[in-house]
Every structure is written in structure tokens, then in C-alpha cells.
Structure 1
Amino acid sequence: MVFLGIIDEKIKIIDHHEQCSWLDNKLGGQPIFNPMFDVNKLIKNDQLQCTECSINMAFILQIYCPVDNSNDDRILYFFSCVNKDCSMKKCRLFRVVTKAKQATKIETKLFDDDDWGGDNESTSDSTFTTEQSSNDVGSTNKYDFEKHSYFIPHYISVIEETDESIDNEKYEKMAKQIANVEENFINEQYEKHYPDVFQNDKDNYKFYKQLHKCPEQIMRYEFAGKPLKSSGRINFSIETCKNCKSKRIFELQLMPSLINVLLNNKMKTIDQQDISIDFETILIYTCGKNCYSTTNEICEEQVFLFKEYCPELNEKFFEFIPVKQQQ
């Protein structure tokens, strides 16, 4: 089952502390860590600096996503270089796994409908109170994460991909056009209408068609699933886990709508001219065994960034849709 991440309300900030928990899915602001996690393990060896330009990477998002049949707390943290002068703009994904202390938790569901798991059962049976969430934020003060804070913090909501309740009015007409076309044209005829804009790339066409169903999606999550490829021309090689040498599996991908969300929510202290974000999709592969090291607790996973092949789609998003011929 595919879950979609969508930007939600802003996170309140009191005395420079975000009023949210490390158990929350969030975008922007500063990363929030489990108090049990030693932050020094993340910042050693300049792991939060771009390996190309050596500038501090921006914290983009984190998601709490424990795997089935495990009580361990598992969070993914994504950082990216946004320096406009950097030619490569490296991005990195860190997986942090800490052993859960069930005695410190309240036995209520962490997520109801907002569950990243693969079925209807919650992958965790606990959450923290608001008071505890505020205290959790203090654990990040071991390191100055403000220098990685480029964007205003927001919660990330989660919906199933089949949920169409969030479609905006401005997309309804376009959705009907797609439905009319598919109803009145056989596949062979239909595909003749879009080769120019998609350059005969069926994967790219399917990518944007799926995106049209929920233009607000900033990420897609399907643990051990299949990515939505942005082009049939992309090639990449998946490495084994550096820690346990197990096979990596697809877990999530970031979608182009994330770019506008970030640029429209930059911190007031960040000059718009100094920021550059450019990708069509970013695929993330993680350890299939969700390995855990008692000496480290953190693993860097594999990230693949792909830029768009059809930039004209930004301005002419739906012009490929043929108009139904009058009888």
C-alpha cells in the first residue's frame, strides 16, 4: 500500500523550541531526536556538510516509520545541500534506530489513519504527551542545528494513495479531462497525443499522471515497494547496506511538489537568491533488514536524485491532454 505525505499546519515555536515530538512526521525547522540517541554520532566526520561544497546541508524532513514486528523506534532524517553555487548539491538520508523503552510511553496509538505501515495495524502502540514533546526538543541542543534550519517547520500528514478527498477545485476539471480521454480513446490512439511533450517516455507520462491524482503530495512511501520512476531513461545501481551487507529495498521517494513547498516556506533569515532546489524525484533505498548497531545506532542509506527530462511540464502541466472531439 502506498502512503502519501502532504504538508500540514505550521509547528508552533516557543523560546526557540518547536512544540512537537521526535515521534512526529515533520518538514523544515530542526531535526528532533529521541532523547536516547547520542546526536554526536550523527555530526561526527562532518556528515551534515555537503561533500561537494562543504556548506551546511539544510534539514528537509524526518519521518517516524517503525517496521512491522519490531518495537524499536526508527526515524529517517533527510538533509540536502541547497547552495545555489554548488554544482552537485549532495543530499543524504540517515536512518536512526533506538531500542524502545516501553515503560516510558503511554499506551495509545501513535498514528490512526496516519500510519506509514503496510497494513491497517499501527506499527507502534504508543505516543508522548505534549509536555514530554517539549522536553524532547531540548535534546537537540547538544549541537547547533539552527545552521541547518532553512525552512519553516510544518507537520506532514499521511493519507492512502486511494484517498481523493484532498483534490483542489482547480484540478477537478483536469481530472475530468483525463477520465474523458481514457474513456473515449483506446490506448494506442491515446498515446499518440503525448509523445511530443513526454518525448515518448511512458514512464515519465505515468509519473505525472499519478502526480495529477494528488498534486499536493511531497512524498510517496511504500516500504519494500516499487518506486514511481520519473523516466524510462534513468539507471541506477543499488548498493548493499554498509553496516550489515544486506540488500537495500525501496522505501520512499520525494516528489517535485516539495520544491515549491520549501521555497514558499523559507526562513526570513534565508535569502531566496541563495537557495536552489532542483529535482524531479528523489528515490531512497534502506536496509531491508533494518539492521541495528549497538555501537552506532545510525546508518546512512542510499539516495538517488533525478532531474526532470521535460522541464516544459512546469509551465504546461496539462496541455498534453487531447480535447474530446465533438460528434
Structure 2
Amino acid sequence: MAQNRPKVLLGFEDETITDKHKSLVNFMTNKIGGKPDWYLDGIPSPCCQLCGLTLPLVLQVYAPLEASPYHRTLYLFGCINPNCWNERESWVCLRSQGLETNAEQEEVSSTTTNTISATDWCCDADDWGDEDNNINNNEENGNVIGCIESCCDEDDDDDETEEYEEAIRVNLGNLSVDECNANVEGGAVGRLHSPSATAEIEGDESGVVSIDTPTAPQRDLLMLLQEAAPVPTELRNKGLPQFASAFISVDEEEETPVPEHVRDLLQEYQQHSPQHEKREDLTLEKYEKSIPAHGDKMFHYFLTRIQKHPGQIIRYCREGSSPLLLYPVQELPVRCNYCCGDVLFEMQVLPTLIPKLQLLNASEGTHLEFGTVLVFTCQRSCWTAGDTYRHEHIVLQAEKI
């Protein structure tokens, strides 16, 4: 019995966007790279949470919802710093919406947007900031201030040190040692309120080894290990990074299920006819005929699905479809950060996009690496008056090695 499967839309790279297309490109355009076309002007691009580099636009997807009065566009950004590749924190997905209103209302909305501070989207914003780093910065600032104060009070410290040394000499003079037997009760005895530590010595003092107290580390080694690697100089000197822009064409994934009895007959015929593999028009996909030798069924299924439609770079479905996973995911997002409502899978970016991401004004080569990027959005697509953007959940699976 045939099953009703959710409709999956596939995105493919199309014509390169040039100056002649400027009048055709807006927030309703599906495209790779370029500058984001915001519904409301004046919104700066976000920054990487790991290295602070400005994130270039990877994809722009116009995704309005049925029976909704809003225009709705998803903007996906990724960090080109090799130190941040395959890290979820280096990706950002922003959802921007706008009512289909008259020009007067749009002008009011645009004016409201321009009053937003630039730090709302950049590294200094609460959403993008790292609380641990802020705490460390405060501690370091406190240490610097303390050093300055201690230098200013140097003269007072000298007087206190002389008094303290004099008190130590007096207390040392009051020490008494039982010369008859230092190992029995008594021994080396210090005064009750001596400012220095005292201890009992057992055995011959000549055999006692003096061990200096180890110096406490001046830096937090764990924090050093957790610090993100610095941004390469060549990346910082190139200004705002930008990928070459191209249109995205959309097509529906054709999924024609094969009846079970037909599948059985084909497999039986295939077992008795080795030459049958060469007749692809009569067989199922040849990579489906058996379990892969490496045993990774999930990764094999991932390759099988995308090979049915070569060239696809995006898989889009908001009707309950499941993403193609490279390996099992421990935890998926379930709640919206804004309304606490349910979230659902909406879009998947495939690694076939990687060779199409050509950085402008840069040498040739790979500028971004990932396995697959999954975007989960609010089921209600929650929005309130005055909003200019909302960021959605990202699940990233690293490339398989």
C-alpha cells in the first residue's frame, strides 16, 4: 500500500547573479552567497561566537507559510575561519518577517528598524556574547587595577614589611628545643600565636630534605585549552567576507515507491543475472542492492538519497519530514527560544554546497567545511510587532573522516 510522504523541495545552483540582475534580487530571492537582502534595511551581519569574525551569508531562502500574512525569509551564515569549521557555534540562522502592508506602514517599520543599535547583532550582543569570557575579562581588569593600587601603596608596604620581619625575629628567639630528645614529647616547639608554621621533627635532622612550596600557576591552563584559536591574519585583513552569488532553482523530489512484490522479483532476478547490474533502467538503484561493506547504514542511506538527484544542495520540507543524518544525533531542539512552543525541522544544507562557495577577492580553495547543517524553526513562526529578526536552532554534523 503506497504511503503519503511529505513533499520535499530540492534546491540546485542556478545562474550566477551579476549586476544585470540587481533589479530582480530582493528578500524573496533564493540564492547562494552575496549580501543578505533584508526585508528591513540597516541590519548588520552577525559575528562568529568563537572567533568574532563577521559571518558571510551562505544561503538566503524565501519560505513564506500558507495562510500567513507575513513575508518570511531564512538567512544562513557560516564562519570561514578554519579554526571554527565543523563547530555549531560558528553558524547562525536568522528568520526575518514582514507584513504585506502598504508603503506607508513599511516606511514606519523601516524607521523603527534603523533605531536598533549595531551591537544587537554583533559580538557585543547578549545573544552572541560568551558569559565565561565576560567573567574572565572582569577578573583580568580587576587584577590590573589591583596591581596599579599596589604600586601606589609601595611605600606603605615597605613600613609594614619591616615591622613584620621584626615580629618574626622576636618569635624565633622564643623558640625552645629539648636537646635531650627531640623525638619525644616536646621537641621543637613554637609559640602558640607564632605567625609562621610549626612542625614536629622526627629522626635525624641531617636526613630531612627541604622541599620548597610549589608556586601556584599564574594562568588558568584549562581556560587556555578551551580558548578558540585566533583568526588568521589573512582573514582579518580582507574586510567583510562575501561568497560569490548565484540563484537557487527549486524542484520537487520525486519519490516513486516500488511495490514490495516488484522489489522481490527484481532482487531475485538480480541474484541470478550478474549482467543485470549494467541495466540501470531495469533495476533499483545499484547502491541499494546490499548493505555497505563498512556497515554504516545511516551514512549509506544519506549518500543513496542525495545521489538520486545529483547536484542538490538544499533539502526543504516543513511538513514533518525527517532530515538525512550522517550519524545518530544525541539531542535535537524541541522548544522555541522565544515562545517555548514546538520546533520542527525545516531545512537541510548538504555538503555538495561546499565547492560552490567561492570567496570573493580570495585565492582558490575550500573556504568552508561541514558535514550537513540542519535548521529547526518555530512551528508557529512566532513574531511580535517591532521584531526585526529571530534566530533559529542549528544542528551541525561534522564531515565524516
Q: TM-score by structure 1 length?
A: 0.66
Q: Secondary structure at the match of 1:97?
A: strand
Structure 1: gaps (5+ residues)? 105-138, 165-174, 312-327
- How far residue 270 of structure 1 moved from its aligned partner, in angstroms, is 2.0
Runs (4+) of structure 1 moved beyond 4 Å? 16-19, 146-149, 175-181
1:70 aligns with 2:68: yes
Residue number among 19, 27, 30 corresponding to 2:32 in the alignment: 27
In 2: Cα distance, 1:177 partner to 1:279 partner: 35
Matches within 5 A, 1:238-257: 238-257=333-352
- How far residue 11 of structure 1 moved from its aligned partner, in angstroms, is 1.1
Q: Secondary structure at the match of 1:56?
A: coil
Matches within 5 A, 1:128-139: none
1:213 aligns with 2:308: yes
Q: Secondary structure at the match of 2:82?
A: coil
Instruction: Report the counterpart of residue 79 of structure 1 in structure 2.
Output: 77
For residues 264-313 of structure 1, the C-alpha deviation after alignment (integer angstroms, 9 at most, x for no partner) is x331x12346x54222211100000011121323110001111233x4xx
- Cα pair distance change 1:31/1:184, threshold 3 Å: closer
CA contact (8 A) 1:2 1:222 kept: yes
Instruction: Report the counterpart of residue 16 of structure 2 in structure 1.
Output: 10
CA contact (8 A) 1:224 1:288 kept: no
Structure 2: gaps (5+ residues)? 1-6, 105-113, 119-237, 257-276
Instruction: Report the counterpart of residue 129 of structure 1 in structure 2.
Output: none
- Cα pair distance change 1:183/1:152, threshold 3 Å: closer
Structure whose CA Rg is larger: 2
In 1: Cα distance, 2:286 partner to 2:53 partner: 53
The one-letter code matched in structure 1 to 2:13 is I
Instruction: Report the counterpart of residue 295 of structure 1 in structure 2.
Output: 386
Instruction: Report the counterpart of residue 157 of structure 1 in structure 2.
Output: 249
CA contact (8 A) 2:332 2:395 kept: no
The one-letter code matched in structure 1 to 2:82 is K
Instruction: Report the counterpart of residue 91 of structure 1 in structure 2.
Output: 91
In 1: Cα distance, 2:76 partner to 2:279 partner: 36
In 1: Cα distance, 2:285 partner to 2:12 partner: 30
In 1: Cα distance, 2:66 partner to 2:102 partner: 16
- How far residue 57 of structure 1 moved from its aligned partner, in angstroms, is 1.0
Instruction: Report the counterpart of residue 51 of structure 1 in structure 2.
Output: 49
- Cα pair distance change 1:70/1:296, threshold 3 Å: same
Percent identity over the alignment? 27
Higher helix share: 2
Matches within 5 A, 1:121-270: 147-162=239-254, 182=284, 190-192=289-291, 194-196=292-294, 200-262=295-357, 265-267=358-360, 269-270=361-362
For residues 205-243 of structure 1, the C-alpha deviation after alignment (integer angstroms, 9 at most, x for no partner) is 111101101121110000142233323433232141111
CA contact (8 A) 1:201 1:231 kept: no
For residues 109-149 of structure 1, the C-alpha deviation after alignment (integer angstroms, 9 at most, x for no partner) is xxxxxxxxxxxxxxxxxxxxxxxxxxxxxx9xx98xx9544
Q: Secondary structure at the match of 2:28?
A: coil
In 1: Cα distance, 2:345 partner to 2:282 partner: 34
CA contact (8 A) 2:54 2:241 kept: no
In 2: Cα distance, 1:38 partner to 1:259 partner: 29
Instruction: Report the counterpart of residue 101 of structure 1 in structure 2.
Output: 101
Instruction: Report the counterpart of residue 124 of structure 2 in structure 1.
Output: none
